[in-house]
Structure 1
């Protein structure tokens, strides 16, 4: 069976976002099918460096403390000079290449998966190119193009690279082009198209494969209480591009706050600021970071999952998790979200940043909560749309063709 090397700066149990969760789920899926998996990741501190065994997959995870002013887990609140040094080192520090090279030498992989290179060093890709290893780049975001990973700035999606990102992407794209056996996978067609258009890369193959994520089922009963008070739920990072503040503003401006409850689950740079800003709004609660099981239970206790993203989302796992348990989704019509949410079937697709569209849609459910039952029935009729096992099979098909 082939040896598979996984490169991801973040990897469970040390989680910053959804990319590393997906990387872990794929690694476990391949390991369960008999592939010899090994992972290179970063350590959040000195005590966590070294080799660890994944408790589910049984494969080795080698965690290295990167030579940086700070580790990839601690990006918030850093000084501007330290950030400049960090990003420069992530592009050109020759120690990155040595770390990747040593890992490749120790594990001798037949194929490499690159999930989160930011933090491990983008020039580490040169080690894969020199070893002529077939490489699958999984596009969880746009970090290969944008230093902020989102191509979103000053409240708007970027249509082209700014000067800052253009400089950094020159190094990243050049490194990718040196890999002769380069394959690109994205969980959404929208993200894949944007990356290929802007990067100009012509890979050996490009494909769309949904992230092979499995989510826990709720351990509490699902109860429809929308006729009393509409229960809205947000799950994800708390930052400006995610639209949490916008969503609350839409609810307040339409004077719907007495008819709804909004629970915000997740952590992020804006969490404490929003907690303070809306401290007097008793219908709005902030739970902070919780476990996947607690997320599942929160979904079972909600009427609608809200995904009010202002930027081009790729393929939000929280949407898939909600639809798998039959929870209707109201989401922004942007990026890869329309590939997941079927308007009028799974919920509603709304204009990102349009307060009237969002408030009117929420108000329509308050007036006629029976619509939610229709959404739930339609979702249940196609509950097999997102199969983690099928996604792993698609990845295996790709591996075996290399």
Structure 2
């Protein structure tokens, strides 16, 4: 019966340790997300909201504010999730503390009874008499074993009381820490919600201004997208030409949709592909203002914004770095746009758009993190780098390639 009780207690402790580990892992994951959103908000404030001298366009202000609101909401949500998880952990700890206290009370009572019983029979004479009164040697041996087992059990109970007491103290300490952590999270969330309220009011005010002449803003958004589409078509044309040229040189059909690769190019492409998700950012610090793919305009949600790459907001005079070893395939100068650098990495292409300075020329070999240019800053103080990755002529989502994008 005693062994069965120990087995049940062991199973309980084992299950509880698994539960605590799972909760702890989830809490760590949530904390990592919270830190990420806090860092992103800090960068947003530094890169998009710190320059009060230049007057941004209303469109840019709305885009920036929408982005900030979405990050703030993510921060509030993950902080809520953390607080809720802590509440569950606190409740679990309180239940375990209550259970341990009951066990401790029972153990102490049993131990006290054993001590009293042991005291009454503690004399060596009574133990000897207990053994000598045995009917035979076998019974005497069994009685001797019983005395030893009883003494061991007393010691075991004493050790168990010590262990339970220590566990209870640890849980109480942990509970106090959890309650303090939860109070801090709740306080932080209260501040974040107040900031969100301010941002939503500002957003509402800006949108009210836009609504007065929505058609005019919609026209501007469409015109800007047309200019971007025109540059995208030019980049696609140049990539297709480069693919055709590589196939002609290799004696293959110029209609092939992929680059003809030399053994060296194949190795570069293989190394590039093996670094998927680990490539460095093309700028020292920045936030992704426009993500890859098609998304509705924050001004007029009926107007789609298409992006073959990402647009990264960064600081003035920011230098642009190559994300991998490669060769300068082309320096592109387009109408209604700033210079573009095209780097080739086997059958992969990386594009760096909206530059003010170029530090490389066609045919140059570049290495990872080598400075190749500088990002252009417009009259409103916006410094936006357009960055794209292509596999042959097919655009890739940079977020899948660049580390933690």
TM-score by length of 2: 0.22
More helix by share: 2
TM-score by length of 1: 0.22
Of structures 1 and 2, the one with the larger relative CO (CA 8 A, separation 6+) is 2
